[in-house]
Amino acid sequence: MVWALAACGRAPVHHQEAFVFGTRVEVLIAGLDEAEARTAAAAVLREFDRLQRTYHAWKPSELSALNAALAAGRQQAVTPEMAALIVEAQRLTQLSEQLFDPGIGRLVSLWGFQSDELPAALPDAAALAAWRAARPSMVDLRLDGQYASSQQRLLALDFGGYLKGVALDRAATILQAHGVRHALINIGGNVMALGSKNGQRWRVGIQHPRQPGPLATIELNDGEAIGTSGDYQRYFELDGRRYSHLLDPRSAEPVLHTQALTVLITPRVAAGTLSDVASKPLFIAGRDWPRLARRLEVEHVLRVDADGRVQVSRAMQDRLVYVGGQPPAIEVTQ
In-domain check, residue 157:
no
Whether 207 is covered by a domain: the verdict is yes
Instruction: Verify that 214 and 305 share a domain, yes or no.
Output: yes
**115 within a domain of the structure (yes/no):** yes
* % of the chain with per-residue pLDDT over 90: 93
Domain-terminating residue out of 114, 149, 184: 149
Q: What is the mean pLDDT of residues 211-228?
A: 98
- Same-domain check for residues 128 and 26: no
User: In total, how many domains does the chain have?
Assistant: 2
DSSP code of residue 212: S
Residue at 156 is within a domain: no
Calpha distance 171→48 (Å, rounded): 8
Give the CATH number of the domain where residue 89 resides. Answer: 1.10.3980.10
Res 166 pLDDT > 80: yes
Binding residues for Mg(2+): 161, 276
CATH code (residue 282): 3.10.520.10
Residue 100 resides in a domain: yes
In a domain, 142, yes or no: yes
Rounded alpha-carbon distances, angstroms, from residue 97 to 8, 91, 124, 250, 281: 44, 10, 27, 11, 8
pLDDT of residue 119 exceeding 90: no
Same domain, 284 and 220: yes
Tell whether the model's pLDDT for residue 10 goes beyond 70. Answer: no
Is residue 1 predicted with pLDDT exceeding 80? no
Q: How confident is the model at residue 120 (pLDDT cuts 50, 70, 90)?
A: confident
The rounded mean pLDDT for the chain is 96
Domain shared by 181 and 213, yes or no: yes
Same domain, 138 and 172: no
Is residue 154 domain-resident? no
Residues 90 and 47 in one domain: no
Residues 35, 136, single domain; the answer is: no
Q: Report yes or no: 220 and 204 within 8 Å, Cβ to Cβ.
A: yes
Confidence of residue 118 (pLDDT cuts 50, 70, 90): confident
pLDDT at position 96:
99
Q: What is the pLDDT of residue 6?
A: 46
Q: Determine what percent of the chain is predicted with pLDDT higher than 70.
A: 97
- Provide mean pLDDT across the span 42-66: 98
CA 167 vs CA 5, 34, 52, 226, 280: distances in Å: 22, 23, 9, 13, 17
Q: Which of 137, 106, 111 is nearest to 124 (CA)?
A: 111
Domain boundary among 98, 116, 149: 149
Are residue 140 and residue 235 in the same domain, yes or no?
A: no
Q: Can you give the pLDDT at residue 25?
A: 98
Any residues with CB less than 8 A from the CB of 324 and at least 6 apart, and which? none
Does the residue 6 lie in any domain? yes
| pTM reported for the whole predicted model | 0.95
| pLDDT tens column, 223-253 | 999 999 999 999 999 999 999 999 999 999 9
**Does position 73 have pLDDT exceeding 80, yes or no?**
yes
Q: Among residues 211, 249, 250, 205, which one has the least CA distance to residue 232?
A: 211
Q: What is the average pLDDT across 105-120?
A: 91
What pLDDT score was predicted for residue 116? 80
Asked if 16 and 80 sit in the same domain, the reply is: no
Together in a domain, 105 and 230? no
Mean pLDDT calculated for residue range 35-61? 98
142-144 β-sheet, strand order? 76-77, 147-149, 142-144
Q: Kindly report, residue by residue over 171-207, the tens digit of the pLDDT.
A: 999 999 999 999 999 999 999 999 999 999 999 999 9
DSSP assigned state of 285: H
Kindly state whether residues 132 and 178 are assigned to the same domain: no
Last residue of a domain, one of 120, 149, 178: 149
Same domain, 221 and 304: yes
Structure confidence by residue, pLDDT tens digits, 256-287: 999 999 999 999 999 999 999 999 999 999 99
Residue 331 backbone dihedrals phi, psi, to 5 degrees? -125, 120
Which residues touch 268 (CB under 8 Å, ≥6 apart)?
223, 274
Give the residue-averaged pLDDT of 10-35. 94
Known binding residues:
161, 276
Domain range enclosing 233: 2-52+162-333
